[in-house]
Amino acid sequence: MENIANAEKRREKQSHLGQKALNHVTDTVVYIVLTVMGILWILPICYMVYTAFRVTPNTGIINKLFPDNLELGFGNFGKLFTETDFPIWFGNTLKIAACSCALTTLFTLMTAYALSRMRFKMRKPLMNVMLVLGMFPGFMSMIAVYFILKAMGLTNSHLALILVYSGSAAMGYYISKGFFDTIPRSLEEAAILDGASQWTIFWRVILPLSKPIVVYTILTSFIGPWGDFIFVNVIINNTSPEKFTVALGLYRLINSDQGAFSKWFTTFCAGATIIAIVIGGLFVFMQKYYVSGVTSGAVKD
């Protein structure tokens, strides 16, 4: 009996060692795949930044990764601000993104709070319909949106872009709703006993406790208008650079004539680097609130 027990223990130990080795191999393969994917993802970014700082007699696209006459400096950034309308494009983009962000954040949080706290007829079907509609990409409605704006005389205007970006904000309610579901209802009940209205509760009780989800909503609402090109290219079809955003302005810059791409490519990369730095900086400084907002909002009602 003792020999049988020892043999069984040896088999269990071998099985455990085999499973441990298999897990080690699996983890190694996963890490290798993720490393390769990470390198492939970061290479274009490194190429863009490298090209933005590249200053050589041939300022076009890089034909040779490290040319003999390679020079690095801020010349492309100076050219971007002095020889193009980039400051105007940047201001337009910031204005549109900020206004859209404010409206989108307000609409999303108000919708999420109403669906989280209030009970009314057709609430569940409404949530399901909004969730399904929110899965479809916005550019599918691009043609219809354009003709509606054209009929209203709003094409070639920044107001049209703000309306487009913030018009479907309520569709993204689900993460914010999940966060509001985690806030105890006893706080609202106490406020109601003190005579507070739903509006007062939302602004003075709920929002001060919802900093992570507010930051998350602001970031996700800002990044879309900040880097959008599709709707801008359709709605702003004016040739006046004063109406352009950064995405449209840089696109028109390298497609303005036959040799524009070669002439302005490094300048284009400089502009793209500036835009990326703004978004990257926001995520770095607000990362802890962003992660907390996502994880706290992953609650199903």
Dump pLDDT digits (tens) for 55-81.
765 555 555 556 666 677 888 888 889
Q: What is the CATH number of the domain that holds 125?
A: 1.10.3720.10
Angle, vertex CA 202, rays to CA 198 and CA 204, nearest 5: 110
Q: Which two tokens mark 136?
A: 């479809």
Which residues have a Cβ under 8 Å from the Cβ of 262 and sit 6 or more positions away? 60, 61
Domain membership of residue 160 (yes or no) is: yes
Q: Are 231 and 97 in contact (CB under 8 A)?
A: no
Distance CA 215, CA 291 (A): 10
Average pLDDT over residues 21-45: 88
Average pLDDT over residues 171-181: 82
Domain membership of residue 113 (yes or no) is: yes
pLDDT at residue 237 in the model: 78
User: Which structural domain range is residue 85 located in?
Assistant: 79-296
Domain membership of residue 242 (yes or no) is: yes
Domain membership of residue 274 (yes or no) is: yes
For 24-53, letters b (16+ CB in 10 Å) and e give: eeeeeeeeeeeeeeeeeeeeeeeeebbbbb
Q: What does the pLDDT look like over 255-300, one tens digit per residue?
A: 877 777 778 888 898 999 999 888 888 877 777 666 555 555 444 4
Q: Per the structure, how many domains does the chain have? A: 1
Q: What does the pLDDT look like over 115-169, one tens digit per residue?
A: 888 888 888 888 888 878 777 777 777 888 888 888 888 888 889 999 988 887 8
In the predicted model, is pLDDT for residue 32 greater than 90? Answer: yes
Q: Best-predicted range by mean pLDDT among 96-100, 154-158, 198-202?
A: 96-100
Q: Are 196 and 131 in contact (CB under 8 A)?
A: no
Domain membership of residue 16 (yes or no) is: no
Domain membership of residue 84 (yes or no) is: yes
Domain membership of residue 49 (yes or no) is: no
Q: Which two tokens mark 5?
A: 């027990």
Domain membership of residue 200 (yes or no) is: yes
**Chain mean position to CA 39:** 21
Say what the pTM is.
0.79
